């Protein structure tokens, strides 16, 4: 199911909205005196039109005023003020520091599409970066987990290892991106030492290759205290692995689990449709009822409410719908029919992970264990430079591969609620690097705390005290796709018809 099919709504909406921007109408940019060469700003033109139509906070950005393209000279001046498309895009973002922390732009939409399907160039080490204690320039990293069947498997690198240099060069805020971008490099390990790492002489050489990550990282069942407790560590809402997720729930169902721990500690989000499927796997008794509602910018919201109000909601479902070889395939969802869910969370739990918590809250008891979630309550779409902003639209520009990933909507649950600041944990348990154990072990601290709550009912937080690292989430460019939620609905084929 391609998310780009969602964006084709523009072809019909353009006929209904007074601010229509037709990319095929040359008359909106006449070159009367030959001095305005719009071919020099075609990418900026695409950026403006996409943001003008879709951007959630459009009304808060004066330069996205709908009349900008009526005066050629002023519009051209606006587009040409920034020669770099990245800078122009950034100039249209509303309140980057506090409100829109998530919209982004890329110059290679092929790589972007791959990332949404879990495809990347990787050596198999999933790590996190942080500043060294007391420093705003020195960088350290720590290994969260190792991807199976990757280059890192079988080498001396595992969860909890700390590194502060690549190829013998200490990492800093200025060089870490270039060092970690190398296809092959040697990772130099160190002892954490209170956040001021000391080399321990260990190192490992790693080589990247194309890798597709299965987000269903661990599936197992614990038999503890007479309870059958299911555990799934799920690391991304990747739509191409919906069936694998459903198979994992089928395994838990066959095991007869009565409790479920869903580990989303490192899950930054993904497909809204996949989140809806997951909600149905956890429950099953709410088929057809409302899971989430969408709120777009004012103009689009008004059009949806008047013309297609059902497109603003996602309901619980009991089947996965896929398109294979041009045919629609419907796969029954393996549902556990639970009335209680335990979710392991950290500040890396974002977007679709938070959507699961928020969407289920009105229906079942959701207990979170860990630390506060990210606080990303919005979703985006991918916009391409074509007549209707889809990749399959007419006149897809062959001269570049720039694409936009702007925030276009916010999600709310059945009762109209979301949590823009993130969800506080029901049971707080901080994950300290010094306490790392292999994921999935019964004694791993966060999992152990969730199990203890299930078996004892205790909500009291354990008093673990350790080193809290200052992670690099505030550094632009660390990972544009890390915290993401995107819409990928399939609209009726006749909706694609050009008028």
Query: Does the pLDDT of residue 86 top 50, yes or no?
Result: yes
DSSP 8: G
pLDDT in tens, 293-313: 999 999 999 988 998 899 899
Q: Which residues pair with 400 in a beta bridge?
A: none
CATH architecture observed for domain 119-212 = Roll (2.30)
Alpha helices in 242-350 (DSSP H): 242-255, 272-282, 298-307
Residue 34 confidence class, pLDDT cut points 50, 70, 90: low
113 to 392, 467, 499: CA distances (angstroms): 14, 37, 28
CB contact set of 19 (below 8 Å; sequence gap of 6+): 52, 66, 299
Other CB atoms within a 10 A radius of the CB of residue 279 amount to 26
Burial of 322 (0-12, 13-18, 19+ CB in 10 A): middle
The DSSP bridge pattern shows strands 340-345 and 407-412 to be unpaired
Superfamily in which the 216-463 domain is placed by CATH: 2-enoyl-CoA Hydratase; Chain A, domain 1 (3.90.226.10)
Which band of pLDDT confidence, cut at 50, 70 and 90, is reported for residue 259? very high
Amino acid 200: pLDDT: 97
| Average pLDDT of the residues in 349-372 | 97
Check if the beta carbon of residue 195 is closer than 8 Å to that of residue 140. Answer: yes
Model pLDDT for residues 446-497, shown as the tens digit of each residue: 999 999 999 998 766 555 668 888 887 644 333 444 556 666 654 443 333 3
Whether pLDDT at 65 is above 50: yes
| Average pLDDT of the chain to the nearest whole number | 87
For the beta carbon of residue 233, count every other beta carbon within 10 angstroms: 22
pLDDT at 135: 95
Query: What is the distance between the alpha carbons of residues 51 and 64, in angstroms, rounded to a whole number?
Result: 7
H or E element: which one contains 198? Answer: strand 198-207
pLDDT band at 37 (very low <50, low <70, confident <90, very high): confident
Sorted by where each begins, the domain ranges of the chain are: 3-102, 119-212, 216-463
Cα(191)–Cα(163) distance, integer angstroms: 8
- For residue 364 the two structure tokens come to 């079942």
Of residues 487 and 431, more confidence is placed in: 431
Give the Cβ contact number of residue 129 at 10 Å: 21
CA–CA gap between residue 453 and residue 461 (Å, rounded): 10
CB 278 within 8 A of CB 245: yes
Q: What is the pLDDT of residues 351-360, one digit of tens each?
A: 999 999 999 9
| pLDDT at res. 462 | 54
Determine the pLDDT at residue 23: 43
Check: CB of residue 425 under 8 Å from CB of residue 371: yes
Q: How many CA atoms lie within 13 A of 56 on its CB side?
A: 22
**408 neighbors 297 (Cβ within 8 angstroms):** yes
142 CB burial (10 A radius; 0-12, 13-18, 19+)? buried
> Residue 104 above 60 pLDDT?
yes
């Amino acid at each position: 199911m391609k998310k780009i099919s969602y964006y084709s709504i523009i072809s019909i909406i353009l006929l209904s909205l007074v601010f229509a921007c037709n990319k095929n109408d040359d008359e909106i940019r006449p070159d009367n005196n030959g001095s305005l060469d719009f071919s020099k700003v075609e990418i900026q033109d695409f950026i403006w039109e996409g943001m003008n139509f879709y951007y959630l906070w459009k009304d808060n950005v004066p330069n996205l005023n709908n009349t900008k393209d009526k005066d050629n000279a002023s519009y051209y001046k606006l587009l040409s003020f920034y020669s770099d498309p990245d800078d122009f895009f950034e100039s249209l973002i509303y309140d980057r520091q506090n409100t829109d922390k998530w919209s982004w732009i890329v110059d290679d939409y092929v790589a972007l599409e791959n990332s949404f399907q879990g495809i990347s160039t990787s050596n198999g080490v999933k790590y996190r970066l942080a500043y060294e204690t007391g420093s705003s320039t020195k960088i350290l990293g720590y290994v969260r987990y190792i991807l199976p069947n990757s280059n890192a498997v079988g080498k001396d690198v595992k969860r909890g290892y700390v590194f502060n240099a690549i190829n013998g060069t200490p990492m800093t805020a200025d060089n870490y991106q270039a060092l970690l971008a190398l296809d092959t490099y040697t990772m130099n390990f160190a002892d954490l030492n209170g956040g001021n790492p000391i080399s321990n002489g260990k190192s490992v050489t790693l080589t990247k290759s194309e890798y597709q990550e299965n987000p269903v990282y661990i599936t197992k069942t614990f038999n503890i205290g007479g309870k059958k407790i299911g555990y799934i560590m799920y690391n991304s809402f990747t739509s191409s692995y919906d069936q694998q997720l459903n198979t994992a729930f089928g395994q838990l169902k066959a095991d007869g689990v009565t409790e479920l721990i869903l580990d989303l500690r490192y899950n930054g989000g993904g497909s809204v449709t996949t989140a809806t499927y997951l909600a149905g796997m956890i429950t099953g008794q709410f088929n057809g009822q409302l899971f989430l509602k969408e709120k777009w910018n004012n103009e689009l919201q008004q059009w949806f409410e008047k013309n297609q109000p059902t497109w603003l909601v996602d309901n619980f479902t009991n089947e996965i719908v896929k398109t294979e070889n041009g045919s629609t395939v419907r796969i029954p969802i393996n549902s556990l029919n639970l009335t209680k869910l335990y979710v392991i969370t950290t500040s890396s739990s974002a977007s679709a992970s938070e959507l699961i918590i928020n969407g289920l809250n009105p229906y079942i008891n959701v207990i979170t264990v860990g630390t506060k979630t990210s606080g990303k309550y919005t979703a985006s779409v991918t916009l391409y430079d074509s007549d209707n902003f889809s990749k399959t639209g007419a006149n897809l520009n062959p001269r570049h591969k720039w694409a936009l990933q702007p925030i276009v909507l916010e999600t709310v649950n059945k009762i109209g609620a979301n949590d823009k600041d993130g969800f506080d944990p029901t049971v707080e348990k901080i994950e300290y690097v010094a306490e790392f154990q292999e994921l999935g072990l019964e004694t791993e601290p966060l999992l152990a705390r969730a199990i203890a709550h299930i078996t004892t009912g205790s909500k009291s937080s354990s008093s673990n005290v350790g080193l809290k690292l200052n992670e690099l989430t505030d550094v632009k460019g660390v990972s544009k796709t890390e915290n993401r939620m995107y819409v990928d609905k399939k609209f009726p084929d006749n909706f694609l018809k050009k008028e």
